[in-house]
Amino acid sequence: MADITLRPFGMDDPTSLTRWYQEDRDGIESVMGVTIPDDLASTMAFNLLLEKQNRGTAIFRMVYRDDHPIGFALVTYLSRDDRSGLASCYVAKDQRRYSLEVLRTSERIAKQMGFCGFLLAVDPRNTRALNLWKRLGYKVPKHLTLVKEFS
């Protein structure tokens, strides 16, 4: 079995993030929740997440299989009261066979950090991801979440 670890963002990791964006723009955009038109915008989006982590409003970890980066785990909208947040995870296309193990490892570490639970946002058309999360015990709520963007 592969050794899956979560590590702080390191000096060599920007190369992986750029490569994953170039190879799987749709996947990165799905996790990030926004349209990312080019490499520069991708770098800026990840820098924003790292900035949020520095402010204590997000947690960003690189996912490694043995010594190779294969994705990232992310928690945003952190609630300090009940240690919950909006969880996201990206696993590179050619490493998706490790997705379940990545999610289990991420949950184990989150529990060790004192998290009590997560909310998820999944595109309902992404049945593979939806089924994977359900397999881990996540449930679709009976109430809709409505969103409005101000322009």
pLDDT in tens, 20-74: 999 999 999 999 989 999 999 999 999 999 999 999 999 999 999 999 999 999 9
DSSP-derived pairing of the beta strands 84-91 and 68-79:
antiparallel
For the chain, domain boundaries: 4-135
Copy the structure tokens of residue 139: 């449930």
Assess whether pLDDT exceeds 80 at residue 83.
yes
Rounded to whole angstroms, how far apart are CA atoms 82 and 64?
Answer: 28
Contact present, 82 and 116 (Cβ < 8 Å): yes
Fold of domain 4-135? Aminopeptidase (3.40.630)
pTM > 0.75: yes
Rounded to whole angstroms, how far apart are CA atoms 127 and 120?
Answer: 14
Per-residue pLDDT of 90-146, as tens digits, reads 999 999 999 999 999 999 999 999 999 898 888 888 899 899 999 999 998 888 888
User: What pLDDT shows up at residue 140?
Assistant: 87
Q: Which residues pair with residue 73 across a beta bridge?
A: 61, 89
Rounded to whole angstroms, how far apart are CA atoms 1 and 10?
Answer: 25
